Copies of this chain bind each other. A is one copy, B any other.
Amino acid sequence: MRREKPKFKQIIDAAVVVIAEHGYHQAQVSKIAKQAGVADGTIYLYFKNKEDILISLFEEKMGSFIEKIEQETEGISSSLEKLYVLVKTHFSVFAADPHMAVVTQLELRQSNKELRHRINEVLKGYLRLIDRIIVEGMEKGEFRRDLDVRLTRQMIFGTLDETVTTWVMNEQKYDLAALADPVYELLIKGCAAGR
């Protein structure tokens, strides 16, 4: 299993640093190799090509992102609380890894359509996790029963994503994690005044 080889992770971590610091279009393979402390050719013992580095990077990081959120929400019975933990975790993971935030929110989106479709495949795992929480919440009566699952998920993900992206574009000047509470409240209550 290649993922256990130390060099595999070493190269991926190097790619995150290089992309975050120099930007997607200035992240040459030789720069990544140098940062990883290996020869250019060594990269190709672990990755098919440059794109494969980026896909693997996303799979690896997004994989543990999803895992983490699954762990954190596991055992929670309330769907509302699950959603809260998801928002909280989503924000704190990015807040804790600024490099990664830049890479996923800005740099990797410059990749070509092909790569972005591959990335979307990985993202689907996260979207399904959100879907499950929504369905569960509807069944339990914690969420409105007339929700359209796909639209609701698009609201949740779209809001989280936009919030993180704005934070990154503002050079991470403010405390992202602190936004979890108000954002959660917005998502469940909406913006209209109560009746």
Interface residues in chain A, defined as those with a beta carbon under 8 Å from any beta carbon in chain B:
23-25, 80, 83, 106-107, 109-113, 116-117, 120, 134, 137, 141-145, 147-148, 150-152, 154-163, 166, 169, 179, 182-183, 186-195
Q: Which residue of B has the minimal Cβ distance to A162? A: B158
Could you show 13 A-B contacts with beta carbons less than 8 Å apart? Answer: A23-B112, A107-B113, A109-B109, A110-B112, A120-B169, A141-B193, A142-B192, A151-B179, A151-B182, A152-B186, A152-B191, A162-B162, A186-B190
For this chain, the copies found in one complex come to 4
- Secondary structure at the A interface, as helix, strand, loop or mixed, is helix
Q: Are A113 and B113 in contact (CB under 8 A)?
A: no
Does the CB pair B169–A163 fall under 8 Å? no
Q: Are A155 and B148 in touch, CB under 8 angstroms?
A: no
- Residue of chain B at shortest CB distance from A166: B154
A152: nearest chain-B partner, CB-CB: B191
Bound CA–CA A166/B155 (angstroms): 11
Which chain B residues border A109 with CB–CB below 8 Å? 109-110
Known: A155-B155, A169-B117. A143 touches B192 (CB 8 A): yes
Instruction: Assess the A163–B158 pair: CB atoms within 8 A.
Output: yes
Q: Is the CB–CB distance between A163 and B159 below 8 Å?
A: no
